[in-house]
Structure 1
C-alpha cells in the first residue's frame, strides 16, 4: 500500500505519464530500478515498482517532491515530466525554480508570492508581469492565463465578434499587448468568421435553422479564446 507522500495535501502538477514511461525505457530501466533509485537516493522509502507503474499508467500522479525526485532518477528536467502547465505553480515547477527565485525576480515578498500560487490570483504590476514572463519563459497566452486575465479576455472577445469589433481593440489591447494593426486584423477576422458561420448555418440548416445556428454560435463562443490565439498566430502577431 502506498504511504503518504511528503506533501499529501498539495497535489502535484499535471503529470505526463507517457513521457515518464518513455524516458525510463530509453534508459533501459525497469519500474523496480526507478523505485529503488527513489528510495535509495531521494529518501522516499514507500515507493514500490507498483507505484511507479501506477504513475506511468496515469492512475496516480506524483506529488511535487516525488516528481522532482523522479526527474533525478530519469536524468531529465521536471518540465519533461509535466503536461501542459496552466497555473503559476505548475509553470514554476516546470522550470525547476524555487519559489524564492521567482519572488525575487518579480519583486514580491516570498509570502505574498506563495499566497498567489495557492490562490491562483496574480497580484502585480505590468512590469512585474513582464518579469514573471521572463523568468518562467511564458508565452503570451500562458502569461494571460496565469495572471488571471483569460476570463476577462473571453468576455471581451465574445462581445467583439457579436457586435462591433472596432470598439474592443483598445480593451483587448490592455490585456494582450500586441501591435494595434495585428490586433485589429485578428479581431476583424474573428468577427467575420463568426458572423459568416451564423449566416451560413441559417442558410443551410433547413427547418431547425434557428436551433442549429444557436448551437453553432455557442460552440464558437465557448472556444473563443482558443480561436483568438490561433488567429493571432496566423497573423504572425508574435
Structure 2
C-alpha cells in the first residue's frame, strides 16, 4: 500500500510565486540548483524551469528545499492560506513522519487523519499538534476536520439547554469548560433575543416584511456562530 506522502503526492504550488520569489533575490535557475544541492537535493536547471512554467510540480521535500533556497515562506510558494491539517503541516515544513513523531502518534494514524480529514488524537496529542503548527486551541476543530461536529453542538446549545453542552464542547475544542460555559451563556442569550423580537412582532402583527428581516438577521448570526464562539472563548 503506497503512502499518501510519497513523491507522487504533490503539495499545493504556485509556479508564478516561485518565479517571482527567485527574481526578487536575483537568482538564475543555476543558482537555485546550487542552493538546492547544498540542501542535499541535486536537480538540473531544467527542473526549476519546469516548476516555474507549470510543466512539473515539486514534491514536499522539493518544496521545502525550494522555499529555503529562495528565502521565501513556504505558504507563499503554496499560494494558499493554510486551512487543512496537511496545509498547516506543509506551511511549517514538517514531513508527516516528523510531525507524527513530535506529537507521539503512529505515522499511519496521523496519515489517516490527514486523508480522512478527521482527527482522532488524544487530548495530549492535540495540544502537541496545536503547539507544533502554531494553532490556537479554538482553531483545532476546523483544521482537524471537526468543524461540522462543533457547529452541530453549538446549534443545539443555543437552541436548547446550553449547560449540558459545555463539557462536550470544551472537550471537542480543547478549551476550559468554565470559559466555554460563559460563551454558551452569551450565545444562548443572543439567540433568545432574536426569538423574542420575532415573537413580539408576530403578536403585534407588524407585517411579514419585518418578520423576514428578523429571520434573515438570525440566519446570518447562525452562519457566524463558530467565529462568535471562538471570539468569546479567546477573550480576556
Flag the 1:126–1:179 CA change in 2: closer, same or farther, 3 A.
closer
**8 Å Cα contact 1:39/1:47 also seen in 2:** no
Hey, what's the Cα distance between the residues in 1 that align with 2:130 and 2:35?
37
Question: Cα offset for 1:18?
Answer: 9.3
The within-5 A match list for 1:7-156 is 7=7, 10-13=9-12, 23-24=21-22, 26-28=24-26, 33=28, 37=32, 41=36, 43=43, 45-48=46-49, 52=52, 64-65=60-61, 67-79=63-75, 81-82=77-78, 83-156=80-153
**8 Å Cα contact 1:38/1:47 also seen in 2:** yes
Hey, what's the Cα distance between the residues in 2 that align with 1:18 and 1:179?
44
Question: Cα offset for 1:66?
Answer: 5.2
Moved more, 40-49 or 152-161: 40-49
**Superimposed CA distance per residue, residues 157-203 of structure 1 (whole angstroms, 9 cap, x where no aligned partner):** 11122223223222212212333332222112222223334545675
Runs of 5+ unmatched residues, structure 1: 1-5, 55-59
Moved more, 97-106 or 174-183: 174-183
Runs of 5+ unmatched residues, structure 2: 1-5
Q: Secondary structure of the residue that 2:141 maps to in structure 1? A: helix
Hey, what's the Cα distance between the residues in 1 that align with 2:24 and 2:207?
56
Question: Cα offset for 1:124?
Answer: 2.2
The within-5 A match list for 1:198-217 is 198-200=195-197, 203=201, 206-217=207-218
Question: Cα offset for 1:128?
Answer: 2.0
- For the pair shown, the structure with the greater C-alpha radius of gyration is 2
TM-score norm. by structure 1 comes to 0.71
Hey, what's the Cα distance between the residues in 2 that align with 1:102 and 1:198?
47
Partner of 1:165: 162
Moved more, 221-230 or 64-73: 64-73
Flag the 1:19–1:46 CA change in 2: closer, same or farther, 3 A.
closer
**8 Å Cα contact 2:138/2:175 also seen in 1:** no
Partner of 2:225: 224
Question: Cα offset for 1:38?
Answer: 5.7
**Aligned-pair RMSD on alpha carbons?**
3.7
